[in-house]
Amino acid sequence: MKQEPFTFQDSKSTAWTGMLSSPDIPTEKVVILGHGFLSHQHSRTNRRLTDHLVSQKIATLRFDWDGMGNSPSRFTDITVGKCCHQLEEAIAALHASHYARIGVIGSSFGGLITTLVGGNNSSIHAIGLKCPVVDFPTILQNRLGEQGMHQWKKTNTIPNPQKGLNPIPLNFSFFEECTRYNTLMAATHIQAPTRIVHGDHDETVPLEQVQSLFQSIQTQKDLAIMKGANHQFGQPEDFENMTMLLTQWIKE
């Protein structure tokens, strides 16, 4: 496997640098890997998918969503719109680099961004969604509760998922922006063959939301529901099955 930095930017000269992993022989096929909320480009899922895909002679590009990981922006200013724009720019940059066939696999929050962009970009050849976020406002409200939402609006901070650490700065306008997106409507415009992999014990994204997303997709599609699997696919066999299901779909 050959790994090298890949930098892309928009018309405002905002630049992002990710990791491009390629097989030893030249390929025109590449998959963009989108990580989850509060994660980063080198997540366990992204690394394992890279191993699988490169072994199938398919390159991968992974990068940090704007405001996360080592991206140049602050997490407090993150927006869904910025992340969608970033994915669009990554697709355009890969096309300019002579990759003719481009797929996208999005995990959780990355699945939300992939769905929104996938419904508006006909140049994507295949899509994989791992436990995709569908209705983020409801998920945030359920996670934080009424008091937590009030505190978020008052302080522009959210609780740190690692208990005992300081709250994380995040503008409340992020929640307000999320309410303006209709993920199910975007899904009706997806043209690329799409597979969703979800666990029936997912404690973050309700199964019924994912089933609604699947019903909204009008193109070739597949829904793989893994019994007993949670949002992290924490059991080794669940994790390996999930990555293989996504790899096989992309390859096909």
Q: Is the pLDDT of residue 164 over 80?
A: no
Give 41-76 pLDDT, tens digit per residue.
999 999 999 999 999 999 999 999 999 999 989 999
Mean pLDDT taken over the chain: 96
Percentage of residues in the chain having pLDDT higher than 90: 93
For residue 147, count CB atoms less than 10 angstroms from its CB and return exposed for 0-12, middle for 13-18, buried for 19 or more: exposed
Band (pLDDT 50/70/90 cuts) for residue 162 is confident
What pTM was estimated for this model as a whole? 0.96
pLDDT per position as a tens digit, 178-223: 999 999 999 999 999 999 999 999 999 999 999 999 999 999 999 9
CA distance 234 to 199: 10
pLDDT at residue 14 above 90?
no
Q: Which residues contact 29 (CB under 8 A, 6 or more apart)?
A: 57, 58, 59, 99, 100, 101, 102, 103
Please answer whether residues 207 and 198 qualify as being in contact, where contact means their C-beta atoms are separated by less than 8 angstroms. yes
What local confidence, expressed as pLDDT, does residue 197 receive? 98
Please tell me whether residue 106 adopts helix, strand or coil conformation: strand
Residue 62: per-residue pLDDT = 98
SS3 call for 164: coil
Q: Is the pLDDT of residue 252 over 90?
A: yes
